[in-house]
Amino acid sequence: MEILCRTVGLLAANCYILRNGDEAIIIDPGGDPQLLYPCIGDRVLLYVINTHGHYDHIAANNPLKARYDTRLACFETEAQMLFNPDKNLSAMVGARYISVAPDLLLSDGDTLNIGRETLEIIHTPGHTEGSISLRMGTVLFSGDTLFYHSVGRTDLPGGDLDTLRESIKTRLYSLPDETIVYTGHGESTMIGEEKRYNEWVRV
């Protein structure tokens, strides 16, 4: 399994491309689709997954859906944000973006497969109500829930700091310390590193 990262869009979101043989998955296509096309090439794009419904993580949903025969997926309660420019925050930057509808509504504990690997959906509300993290073996994609020595904003609609802390403590800090965390913005980290040094969420 190869994991590529492209930093996309105005807010420099991390978009991850998982590649296994002739198959691929994209997590959080937040813009700049022309940077993503060469990463896919002739592969079958199985899924486009949004960790949550903010504009900087969904802005390339539409061009990817138009170009590839793929399935768009997000958490079940997050779908409404994709269509609402006020809730997905695109209105704040004057873009008024409306995403195409998800093909797949995810629930906590659902799994998606690529090759022999399994992506497990972990509901981690707090940054938004329907934020998810995705675990694949010893790797975690944390969206805007957990950052390197920090956490996602909770001052936006649907955000709540206590809920975010609870999500991280109960759902992410319970993962093995050596789990690599690929974050939605900035550098990657590890669960053990965050348990020791993240001042926002003490163990």
Taking the complex as a whole, the smallest distance from the CB of residue 153 to Zn ion amounts, in Å, to 7
Q: What is the DSSP string of 120-137?
A: EEEE-TTSSTT-EEEEET
54 contacts Zn ion (rule: CB under 5 A): yes
Which residue type is seen at 70? T
Contact status, residue 78 vs residue 128, Cβ threshold 8 Å: yes
Q: Left if phi > 0, otherwise alpha if psi is -120 to 50, otherwise beta: which for 191?
A: alpha
Instruction: Candidates 47-55, 132-140, 157-165, 173-181: pick the segment binding Zn ion (CB under 5 A).
Output: 47-55
Contact status, residue 99 vs residue 86, Cβ threshold 8 Å: no
Give 144 or 194: the residue with its C-beta nearer to Zn ion: 144
Instruction: Candidates 16-24, 31-39, 52-60, 116-124: pick the segment binding Zn ion (CB under 5 A).
Output: 52-60
Instruction: Candidates 31-39, 101-109, 114-122, 141-149: pick the segment binding Zn ion (CB under 5 A).
Output: 141-149
Measured from the Cβ of residue 185, the count of other Cβ atoms closer than 10 Å reads 19
Give 30 or 33: the residue with its C-beta nearer to Zn ion: 30
185 contacts Zn ion (rule: CB under 5 A): no
Which residue type is seen at 180? I
| Both tokens assigned to 82 | 């994709």
CB proximity list for 178: less than 8 A, separation 6 or greater:
138, 190, 191, 192
Binding test (CB under 5 A) with Zn ion, winner from 123, 144, 147, 164: 144
Taking the complex as a whole, the smallest distance from the CB of residue 190 to Zn ion amounts, in Å, to 22
Strands (E), 116-203: 117-123, 132-136, 139-143, 146-147, 150-151, 180-183, 189-190
Give 46 or 164: the residue with its C-beta nearer to Zn ion: 164
Taking the complex as a whole, the smallest distance from the CB of residue 130 to Zn ion amounts, in Å, to 11
Give 46 or 73: the residue with its C-beta nearer to Zn ion: 73
Instruction: Candidates 30-38, 39-47, 144-152, 160-168: pick the segment binding Zn ion (CB under 5 A).
Output: 144-152
**Which residue in the shown chain puts its C-beta closest to Zn ion?**
54
Give 78 or 144: the residue with its C-beta nearer to Zn ion: 144
| Contact residues for Zn ion, defined by CB under 5 A | 54, 144
